[in-house]
Amino acid sequence: MEFIKTLWKNKGLAWRLGRNDFRNRFASTSLGTIWGFLQQFIFMITYVIVFQYILKTGSAGEYPYVVWFLPGMSMWLTINDMIMSASNSIRNYSYLVKKVVFPVDIIPIISIIASSFISMFLFAISIGICIFMGYIPNVLLLLYMLFALYCFVIAFTRFTSAVSTLVPDFSQLLGIIMQLMFWFTPIVWNMNMLQNHPKIQMIFKCSPFNYLVTGFRQVFIDETIINENNFIFTIIFWVITFIIFIWGNYIFKKSKKDFADVL
């Protein structure tokens, strides 16, 4: 496929620009990139304190709350940051679109790479704390979930980056949608709370966001989202991801000739 060929051909350029993008986000501050790590870390720890010690959520079933919560929250923060930054990336890199011959297809990837630096830090914190609590990660499942994460985000932002460029208001709508998805995804609440509402529970389980959050959470606990009992949700996730990519790729290819005119 043309997009994959373009990405592979310009992988070195995307990496360099992504690394510079991450540095430039905090270039005007005295602590520099430390702020990027510190903000997200404090955000996660605050949720742990509020839900475990103030609201007395305690634990999720037989697992300590911190082991159940941190992997899910780190995955969500990664998804949200990658989607929002990549969706606005073409407007942020408008000078590349308007003034030079540049492979526009890789611009959202640049923002995804930039977001990955903080994401890897959040994942490392989650892994470290879970190991400290005695929960050793399943390495194969961990690698699979990271692969699934990038496939879904690239597919999703292929569509959202094109629409956000042509319709600036869409980025505001996307922000609202992501806020709703945060609460509709079992990040701070347990899916078992919906066991008396099986139809609603099934709809939530089919969400790609739920698949990624739950899957990364299960890297550390004695369950797996890709076993024979849950394999239907793996199929649903990849079918949704594939459909989104095909549709998003069509929209992007059809729209990119108009990017320079609207920027």
- Cβ atoms 112, 153 nearer than 8 A: yes
Q: Where are the domains of the chain?
A: 2-262
Q: What is the pLDDT of residue 42?
A: 82
Residue 52, SS3 per DSSP: helix
Tokens of 18: 């992504």
Tokens of 4: 């994959």
Tokens of 184: 């509709």
Tokens of 136: 């050793």
d(CA 195, CA 174): 29
Could you tell me which residues are beta bridge partners of residue 64? 59
State the chain's mean pLDDT as an integer: 86
pLDDT exceeds cutoff 60 at 30: no
Q: What is the pLDDT of residue 57?
A: 63
d(CA 144, CA 164): 30
pLDDT exceeds cutoff 80 at 101: no
d(CA 76, CA 106): 23
Residue position matching structure tokens 């003034």: 99
